[in-house]
Amino acid sequence: MAQKVRGVIARGKGAPVTIETIVVPDPGPGEAVVQVQACGVCHTDLHYREGGINDDFPFLLGHEAAGIVEKVGDGVSNVKAGDFVILNWRAVCGNCRSCLRGRPWYCFNTFNATQKMTLEDGTVLTPALGIGAFADKTLVAAGQCTKVDPAVPATVAGLLGCGVMAGIGAAINTGNVGRGDSVAVFGCGGVGDAAIAGARLAGAHTIVAVDIDDRKLAWAKEFGATHTCNSQKADPVAYIKSVTDGNGADVCIEAIGHPAVYRQAFDARDLAGTVVLVGVPRPDMTIELPFIEVFGRGGQLKSSWYGDCLPSRDFPMLVALHQQGRLPLDKFVSESISLDAIEEAFHKMERGEVLRSVVVL
Ligand SMILES: NC(=O)c1ccc[n+]([C@@H]2O[C@H](COP(=O)([O-])OP(=O)(O)OC[C@H]3O[C@@H](n4cnc5c(N)ncnc54)[C@H](O)[C@@H]3O)[C@@H](O)[C@H]2O)c1
Ligand SMILES: [Zn+2]
Ligand SMILES: [Zn+2]
């Protein structure tokens, strides 16, 4: 039977979010209902609320979550009721042209639940990134559930469901950071600091954190930044060159989605280096680059969707690294909040007061 639970809804562009009763259908074939235990507040939720992703309001926000599988539909074999899972927005299809070429982390046909969650009046909801986990329960495709060790707290595990995975993956998967590399990360929110942590894990020896907020730069050091630069006080390109023998960084990671900052990342890169864009631009943004430099500097300009992660491969591995004390996921959790504090958490994020506010249900 369909269940009625609380969910956090964005009804229109820029309007404050509201808690409403939502209707969660029983899982159909290939689907699962998950009882959400924790869900982080990611900047992408705010992008949705501001109409920066698309206009398919009303949105059921929240997508960085962990919880317990309550019930599965017919034909589900990867998880069962009672499993502790991290929700992902990359349930790979196995059949698209990318999966068939052995590159499932680019899957072009990822699964979401077929049935729709609605408001009580039947209005169909658009779940953020096909998840919608600022809710007591949510309906997803079973492939969106990745089973991990239940010993890890949900507040920490859920972070791997989006921003932290995107940042770590931007460094280790997309940027291919390796031992001895120099790395610069622009924007030290949850995603940027995760890129810093990923660069450290991968063996980078110089990691420059760039932000406009000194508090964020202090936190970035805790994740492994060896140098910091407040780009409102100093030219980050000149600074990065000054700490890399005048060369620039091997890998520059843009974790904001801002054209001017992307340009800084482009200019701060060494010859044959890599720029990774993991920040999400708004649809109206454009960039202009000196074409001869695009050619003349060689290397790679890459984008990182979800850190090019493969949830089944990466989530359990990163949980294990955390449990071994090699990845301080708990440091991302600035505060635990209730469902009714999300609007305030957006403001705290904008004011730079938090890395991650995590809703605990
Ligand atoms: N590619 C993906 O799969 C993926 C996944 C999750 C999030 N994201 C995106 O990553 C971006 C960051 O997300 P977040 O949750 O870390 O956000 P956040 O708001 O926590 O962090 C952004 C950081 O950028 C800094 N900043 C802002 N303007 C700056 C500037 N001009 N120069 C330097 N620093 C500046 C802020 O001080 C803040 O520390 C967002 O665009 C989000 O949508 C992408
Ligand atoms: Zn596919
Ligand atoms: Zn996110």
Residues with CB under 6 A from ligand 1: 42-44, 47, 162-163, 166, 186-192, 210-213, 216, 231, 255-258, 261, 278-280, 304-306, 349, 352
Contact 147, 317 (CB under 8 A): no
Residues 155 and 207 in one domain: no
Tell me the ligand closest to 173's alpha carbon: 1
Give me ligand 2 centre to Cα 105, in Å. 8
- pLDDT attached to residue 222: 97
Check which CATH number belongs to the domain holding 193 and give it.
3.40.50.720
- pLDDT attached to residue 361: 96
Q: Which residue has the tokens 């890169």?
A: 269
- pLDDT attached to residue 191: 95
Tell me the ligand closest to 161's alpha carbon: 3
pLDDT tens, residue by residue, 14-48 = 999 999 999 999 999 999 999 999 999 999 999 99
Residues 232 and 257 in one domain: yes
- pLDDT attached to residue 348: 96
Ligand 1 nearest atom to the CA of residue 192, by list position: 16
Residues 17 and 87 in one domain: yes
- pLDDT attached to residue 289: 96
Residues 123 and 172 in one domain: no
- How many domains does the structure of the chain reveal? 2
Domain assignment of residue 79, yes or no? yes
- pLDDT attached to residue 333: 97
Ligand 1 nearest atom to the CA of residue 354, by list position: 20
Residues 39 and 122 in one domain: yes
- pLDDT attached to residue 255: 98
Check which CATH number belongs to the domain holding 44 and give it.
3.90.180.10
Give me ligand 1 centre to Cα 44, in Å. 9
Residues 260 and 339 in one domain: no
- pLDDT attached to residue 207: 98
- Residue numbers of the domain that contains 140: 3-161+328-360
- pLDDT attached to residue 115: 98
Residues 32 and 146 in one domain: yes
Residues 125 and 273 in one domain: no
Residues 266 and 336 in one domain: no
Domain assignment of residue 310, yes or no? no
Domain assignment of residue 309, yes or no? no
Q: Which segments in the chain show pLDDT lower than 70? A: none
Task: Write the burial class of residue 331 (CB in 10 Å: 0-12 exposed, 13-18 middle, 19+ buried).
Answer: middle
Residue 160: name the closest of 358, 360, 361 by CA. Answer: 358
- pLDDT attached to residue 353: 94
Q: What are the residues whose beta carbon lies below 5 Å from ligand 2 (ion)? A: 93, 96, 99, 107, 109
Q: For residues 267 and 270, what is the distance between their CA atoms, to the nearest angstrom?
A: 8
Q: Label residue 195 left, alpha or beta by phi (over 0 means left) and psi (-120 to 50 means alpha).
A: alpha
Please state, in angstroms and as integers, the Cα–Cα distance from residue 210 to each residue in 107, 185, 221, 227, 359, following that order.
32, 6, 11, 9, 28
- pLDDT attached to residue 143: 97
Ligand 1 nearest atom to the CA of residue 303, by list position: 1
DSSP character for 107? -
- pLDDT attached to residue 37: 98
Contact 43, 349 (CB under 8 A): yes
- CB within 8 Å of 103: residues ≥ 6 apart: none
Residue 264: name the closest of 287, 246, 298 by CA. Answer: 287
Domain assignment of residue 274, yes or no? yes
- pLDDT attached to residue 199: 98
* Domain termination site, one of 289, 304, 319: 304
- pLDDT attached to residue 173: 98
